[in-house]
């Protein structure tokens, strides 16, 4: 599908300008259909676990294909936070007690890292310089005592694309493992885990993957050996989940050792809807389309005298534009009154784009912002 045909699957966009994919993706007709199918299984079959688990497995397969991974390299978890905790709980902190992260990290993951401090972990933060972070900034913090390096694919704060592959190379040269939070870009930013060469990658489904809350995936590099087995576990984290043995515990050698309990079934249906749609588009076309829209919006906002905290460089700018405002919640409320969905964070309003957005969305956003400035 090209962008025009893709947009046709989102009927709500006839009225709403959806620029809030960094918070929740727009609802497609395929998502409606999948949720209807789930409801029918409840009505017709009651406990349709055979159908539900097939759907969860289908979601896993689609996500693995989306990032160029093997199916057994992907664990289903409830959230990115849970995925981060599973990784932190299995590291050799006594041997390499340093964890390097960044101020550009989303707090949900950053707080998991900080919570490891009572275990003796020293958390080092790569500070941003004028809303940007470079590989050199990470390299200055990574040393022989660094056990884990956390680098987001795209920052939630301003859409900055971080140099993940370069940071991974530096970290691996120092003997450190690398964790990537891809939540703020995967779905519109092409990702191949073999090219990134990361050890772990986590992403939930409600944003650019066009699903719902309650489901996330954790990629684990095949062959990676844990210093300690996961302590947060459950029956889906067993070699044979249907063995139902309450007196023994085993962990698969593959990524599913990080799984816990029953995955969210409605979220699994929603994940299949979004991932199947994304499987029908060219990731390079999606990235180019989004880059063009964000570039136009940024250029027009700057020309109008606005303060924009997202990079001008196409190679450093992800799928959102962060517009500074003294009262971002007021601006956001005004935009919503005019049927424009955005997402305020801190002192910016984030305007984020997907393949379903087009130039008319940019024009409507610019017009609304211009009117807001004229009347406030």
Give the CATH number, domain containing residue 314.
3.90.1150.10
**Region label for 125, one of left (φ > 0), alpha (ψ between -120 and 50) or beta (otherwise):** beta
Q: Determine which of 240-244, 282-286, 357-361 has the lowest per-residue pLDDT on average.
A: 240-244
Please list the helix, strand and coil fractions of the chain in percent, rounded to the nearest 5, in that order: 40, 15, 40
Task: Using the 3D structure, point to which of 234, 262, 278 is the last residue of a domain.
Answer: 278
Separation of alpha carbons 262 and 222, rounded Å? 23
| β-bridge pairing 98-102 and 320-324 | unpaired
Tell me, yes or no, whether 343 and 210 share the same domain.
no
Separation of alpha carbons 325 and 181, rounded Å? 27
Structural domain of 364: 3-25+282-375
Name all contacts of 39-46 with Cβ < 8 Å and 24+ positions apart.
none
Confidence of residue 327 (pLDDT cuts 50, 70, 90): very high
Q: Is the pLDDT of residue 110 over 90?
A: yes
Tell me, yes or no, whether 12 and 62 share the same domain.
no
Task: Using the 3D structure, point to which of 240, 255, 278 is the last residue of a domain.
Answer: 278
Write out pLDDT tens, residues 51-108. Answer: 999 999 999 999 999 999 999 999 999 999 999 999 999 999 999 999 999 999 999 9
Q: Where are the beta strands (DSSP E) in the chain?
A: 17-18, 74-77, 98-102, 122-126, 146-152, 177-181, 200-204, 216-220, 320-324, 340-341, 343-345, 348-352
Q: Is the pLDDT of residue 10 over 90?
A: yes
Contact 350, 320 (CB under 8 A): yes
DSSP letter (8 states) at residue 73: G
Contact 184, 154 (CB under 8 A): yes
Tell me, yes or no, whether 7 and 45 share the same domain.
no
Tell me, yes or no, whether 256 and 346 share the same domain.
no
Tell me, yes or no, whether 87 and 211 share the same domain.
yes
Write the DSSP assignment of 163-211 as a string of letters: -HHHHHHHHHHTT-EEEEE-TTTBTTB---HHHHT-SEEEEESSSTT--
Task: Using the 3D structure, point to which of 278, 303, 338 is the last residue of a domain.
Answer: 278
Contact 258, 75 (CB under 8 A): yes
How many separate helices (H) and strands (E) can be counted in the chain?
Answer: 12, 12
CATH code (residue 274): 3.40.640.10
Confidence of residue 137 (pLDDT cuts 50, 70, 90): very high
Q: What percent of the chain has pLDDT over 90?
A: 98
Indicate the angle between helix axes 107-114 and 80-88, nearest 10 degrees.
20
Site of tokens 């964070």:
345
Site of tokens 């249906």:
269
Question: What does the block give as tokens for 70?
Answer: 């093997």
pLDDT given for residue 376 in this prediction? 85
Tell me, yes or no, whether 158 and 247 share the same domain.
yes
Q: Is the pLDDT of residue 291 over 90?
A: yes
Contact 171, 160 (CB under 8 A): no
Tell me, yes or no, whether 91 and 139 share the same domain.
yes
Tell me, yes or no, whether 122 and 221 share the same domain.
yes
Tell me, yes or no, whether 172 and 231 share the same domain.
yes
Tell me, yes or no, whether 246 and 259 share the same domain.
yes
pLDDT given for residue 116 in this prediction? 97
Tell me, yes or no, whether 18 and 48 share the same domain.
no
Question: What does the block give as tokens for 162?
Answer: 């971080």
Q: Is the pLDDT of residue 242 over 90?
A: no
Question: What does the block give as tokens for 262?
Answer: 């029953």
**How many distinct structural domains can be found in the chain?**
2
Tell me, yes or no, whether 104 and 242 share the same domain.
yes
């Amino acid at each position: 599908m090209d962008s025009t045909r893709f947009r046709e699957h989102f009927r709500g966009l006839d009225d709403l300008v959806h620029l809030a994919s960094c918070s929740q993706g727009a609802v497609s007709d395929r998502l409606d259909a999948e949720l209807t199918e789930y409801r029918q299984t409840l009505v017709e079959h009651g406990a349709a676990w055979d159908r539900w688990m097939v759907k969860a497995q289908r979601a896993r397969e689609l996500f693995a294909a989306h990032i160029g991974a093997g199916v057994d390299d992907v664990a289903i978890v409830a959230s990115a936070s849970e995925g981060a905790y599973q990784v932190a709980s299995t590291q050799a902190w006594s041997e390499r007690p340093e964890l390097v992260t960044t101020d550009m990290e989303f707090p949900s993951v950053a707080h998991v890292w900080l919570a490891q401090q009572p275990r003796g972990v020293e958390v080092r933060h790569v500070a941003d310089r004028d809303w940007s972070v470079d590989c050199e900034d990470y390299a200055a913090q990574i040393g022989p005592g660094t056990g884990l390096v956390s680098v987001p694919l795209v920052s939630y704060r301003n859409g900055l694309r971080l140099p993940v592959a370069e940071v991974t190379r530096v970290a691996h040269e120092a003997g450190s493992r690398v964790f990537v939070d891809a939540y703020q870009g995967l779905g519109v930013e092409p990702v191949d885990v073999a090219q990134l060469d990361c050890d772990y990658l986590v992403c939930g489904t409600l944003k650019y993957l066009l699903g719902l809350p309650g489901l996330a995936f954790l990629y684990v590099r095949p062959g990676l050996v844990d210093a300690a087995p996961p302590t947060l576990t459950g029956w889906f984290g067993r070699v044979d989940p249907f063995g139902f043995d309450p007196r023994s515990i085993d962990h698969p050698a593959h990524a599913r050792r990080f799984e816990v309990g029953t995955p969210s079934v409605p979220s699994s249906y929603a994940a299949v809807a979004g991932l199947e749609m994304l499987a029908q588009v060219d990731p390079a076309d999606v990235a180019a389309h989004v880059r063009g829209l964000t570039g136009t919006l940024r250029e027009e906002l700057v020309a109008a005298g606005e303060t924009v905290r997202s990079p001008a460089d196409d190679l450093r700018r992800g799928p959102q534009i962060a517009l500074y405002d003294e009262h971002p919640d007021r601006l956001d409320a005004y935009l919503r009154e005019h049927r424009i969905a955005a997402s305020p964070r801190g002192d910016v309003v984030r305007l984020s784009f997907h393949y379903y957005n087009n130039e008319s969305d940019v024009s409507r956003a610019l017009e609304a912002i211009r009117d807001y400035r004229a009347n406030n």
